[in-house]
């Protein structure tokens, strides 16, 4: 949206002025200057976050993986889908639901992968093929009163589950701010998934009950571990070799032009 782009440009204006002073060519007119300044700002934001115990690197991981999911290392984007990818059906005129991939399987190289989707607010798993899917429109980040900012639909789902798990036995005894966050985040997630808030709450209560019946939270750990297998498995499904570029952590240059390994 244009206002957010302009807000970003204004932030770079202030950062550039503070760091470098007046320049003949600034980031608005010099592409190389803009790229270097942006890299420096991102590196400084990471340092700022670490110094203030703010979660920045997890967000960057999500953003980088989203870019991979939207194009991937392989020629056919559908093979770069991984578990927990946020997806929607390509035919949005007849199907408006969005959800997460929970299973991927294929009969062999270059065969269309079969997918199972979890749609918040729809208890029954949905079955489709990867060729029918595309990366989903991202959920608008949602600030909360008790859980910080929720940056993605998957994080919103996890937040609702954690809030439900933390509720007292008598819900009327719960912190009003927690209840307000529960309502707000479930509504945001329902808007994203194309369902209704009450259905999202009903569905995620089931998932929260399942998590509470697993003392070591293995299901949650398994979901997170599965998300760490993006392109190697997908490449095998596609019959192609993984792109080695995606095995090395990205590097950013800080303001002193020294590489920083993330």
Domain ranges of the chain: 2-54+254-261, 58-137+229-247, 142-219
DSSP state of 142: E
Model pLDDT, residue 116: 92
pLDDT digits (tens, 9 = 90+) for 140-149: 889 999 998 8
pLDDT at position 258: 39
232: pLDDT confidence band, cut at 50, 70 and 90? very low
Whether the pLDDT of residue 164 is over 60: the answer is yes
**Could you report the per-residue pLDDT of 192-222, keeping only the tens digit for each?**
999 999 999 999 998 888 766 665 554 554 5
pTM of the model: 0.60
- Of 120, 81, 129, 123, the C-alpha closest to 98 is 120
Res. 228 pLDDT band, cuts 50 70 90: very low
Residues 6+ apart with CB under 8 A from 241: 235
User: What is 58-137+229-247's CATH topology?
Assistant: SH3 type barrels. (2.30.30)
Let me know: does 25 contact 16? Beta carbons within 8 Å. Answer: no
The most confident of 80-89, 158-167, 221-230, 250-259, by mean pLDDT: 158-167
CA distances from 58 to 38, 89, 151 (A): 19, 27, 10
Pick the most confident of 106-110, 133-137, 199-203. 199-203
Mean pLDDT of the region 162-183: 91
Which pLDDT belongs to residue 18? 85
* Cα-based angle 148, 198, 186 (whole degrees, multiple of 5): 15
Give the pLDDT band of residue 156 (cuts 50, 70, 90).
very high
Mean pLDDT of 11-30: 81
């Amino acid at each position: 949206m244009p206002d957010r782009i302009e807000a970003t440009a204004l932030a770079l204006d202030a950062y550039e002025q503070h760091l470098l002073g007046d320049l003949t060519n600034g980031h608005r007119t010099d592409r190389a200057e803009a790229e270097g300044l942006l890299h420096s700002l991102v590196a400084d934001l990471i340092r700022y976050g670490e110094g203030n115990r703010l979660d920045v690197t997890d967000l960057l991981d999500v953003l980088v993986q989203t870019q991979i999911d939207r194009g991937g290392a392989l020629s056919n984007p559908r093979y770069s889908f991984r578990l927990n990818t946020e997806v929607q059906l390509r035919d949005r005129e007849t199907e408006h639901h969005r959800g997460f991939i929970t299973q991927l399987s294929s009969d062999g190289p270059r065969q269309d992968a079969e997918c199972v989707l979890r749609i918040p607010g729809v208890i029954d798993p949905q079955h489709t093929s990867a060729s029918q899917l595309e990366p989903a429109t991202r959920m608008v980040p949602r600030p909360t009163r008790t859980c910080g900012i929720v940056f993605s639909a998957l994080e919103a789902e996890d937040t609702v589950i954690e809030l439900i798990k933390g509720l007292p036995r008598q819900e009327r005894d719960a912190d009003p701010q927690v209840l307000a966050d529960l309502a707000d985040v479930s509504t945001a997630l329902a808007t994203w998934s194309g369902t209704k808030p009450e259905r999202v709450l009903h569905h995620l209560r089931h998932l929260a009950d399942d998590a509470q019946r697993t003392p070591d939270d293995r299901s949650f750990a398994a979901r997170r571990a599965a998300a760490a297998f993006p392109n190697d498995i997908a490449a095998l499904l596609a019959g192609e070799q993984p792109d080695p570029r995606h095995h090395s952590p990205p590097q950013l240059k800080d303001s002193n032009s020294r590489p920083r390994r993330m």
